[in-house]
Amino acid sequence: MNTYTRDQIMSALGLTSPNSFHYLRRAYPQAFIVTHKGTGKGNPTLYDKAAIDKFIQWRNEYKK
């Protein structure tokens, strides 16, 4: 299964603040599907890549 970490998602979305990531995660829970609940830096939380990619595509279209 393909996954993203929080840092990869923030980079793909162009976010610079963890607060903005958490805002989007709370606002669009259907896009941020957790595939592995991490416990820290050595074991990060992983998110479903397909759902995130679809959200990024939707968000880019919406911003136009």
**Digit-coded pLDDT (tens) for 3-57:** 999 999 999 999 999 999 999 999 999 999 999 999 988 999 999 999 999 999 9
**Domains in the chain, please, with CATH?**
3-63 (1.10.1660)
Which pLDDT score, from 0 to 100, does residue 1 have? 67
Buried b (16+ CB within 10 A) or exposed e, 6-31: beebbeebebeeeeebeebeeeeeeb
- Rounded CA gap, 38 and 63, in Å? 31
Which pLDDT score, from 0 to 100, does residue 28 have? 96
Q: What is the pTM of this model?
A: 0.88
26 contact partners, CB below 8 Å, separation of at least 6: none
Under 8 Å between Cβ of 10 and 56: no
**Higher-pLDDT residue of 62, 11:** 11
